[in-house]
Amino acid sequence: MSSHSNAKHKERMTLADEIEELTGINPLKCYQCGKCSAGCPVRIFMKVSPNKVVRLVQLGLDDEALKSETIWMCAGCLTCSTRCPQNFDLAKFMDALKEIAIKKGVITRKDILKFHKAFLKQIEANGKAFEFGLIRDYKLATFNLFQDMDIAPEMFFKGKIKLFPHKIKNRDAIKKIFDKANKE
């Protein structure tokens, strides 16, 4: 039993409790050695270091943790999780923070969330990712109309981007999965 389960008797679930419930990770396991931050490939693009995000959660500074851009910048490369001496799966921890942030509507990097939403929308509709649709939707959502304009035509000519989605047969099954996942 982890130390955190005591917290269940508290009136309010702290962010630490929520994370532990969602992932089984006890945030207090982190002893702040900083090896995660040291090896993080996107560290230089972060204002708040990854270990500091954990520290914020440990200290109960829940808003600061959820609002940090860091959780959105995590590339999910798992370098931290692999090298962590405490077997702390920080990448999963970051995912959980994102998931909670979305539920609470605290979204610091709306652009990144929009991308994920656009991507998932394609899967929900077609069962597969559809790049043209994805990029179209994402660009419309972010007004970032000109990025990759140089590559796009070539992609198209090389047959790498199709104008119409390839749809799977049993789209019903996918729809159901999404409905149930969104209900949770």
**Positions in 126-145 near other proteins (CB under 8 A):** 127-131, 135, 138
116 binds other proteins (CB under 8 A): yes
Residue 109 neighbours by CB under 8 Å, 6+ apart: 69, 72, 73
Taking CA atoms, 94 is separated from 16, 85, 110, in Å, by: 12, 18, 16
- Sign of the dihedral through C-alpha 126, 114, 93, 100: negative
Give min distance, CB of 60 to other proteins, in A.
19
> In the range 10-39, which residues lie near other proteins by CB under 8 A?
22-23, 31-39
**Tokens 């270990």 identify what position?**
51
Under DSSP, is residue 147 helix (H, G, I), strand (E, B) or coil? coil
Note whether 132 and 161 are within 8 A (CB): yes
Among 9, 85, 149, 163, binds other proteins (CB under 8 A): 85
Give min distance, CB of 94 to other proteins, in A.
8
The number of residues in the chain equals 184
> In the range 48-67, which residues lie near other proteins by CB under 8 A?
48-49, 51-52
> In the range 145-174, which residues lie near other proteins by CB under 8 A?
147-148, 150-151, 154-155, 158-162, 166, 168-170, 173-174
CB closer to other proteins, 11 vs 73: 73
> In the range 65-84, which residues lie near other proteins by CB under 8 A?
73, 75-79, 81-84
Give min distance, CB of 117 to other proteins, in A.
8
Give min distance, CB of 82 to other proteins, in A.
5
Interior CA angle at 88 toward 56 and 4, to 5°? 60
Note whether 88 and 57 are within 8 A (CB): no
Segment near other proteins (CB under 8 A); pick from 4-12, 13-21, 57-65, 95-103: 95-103
**Terminal Cα-to-Cα distance of the chain (whole angstroms):** 25
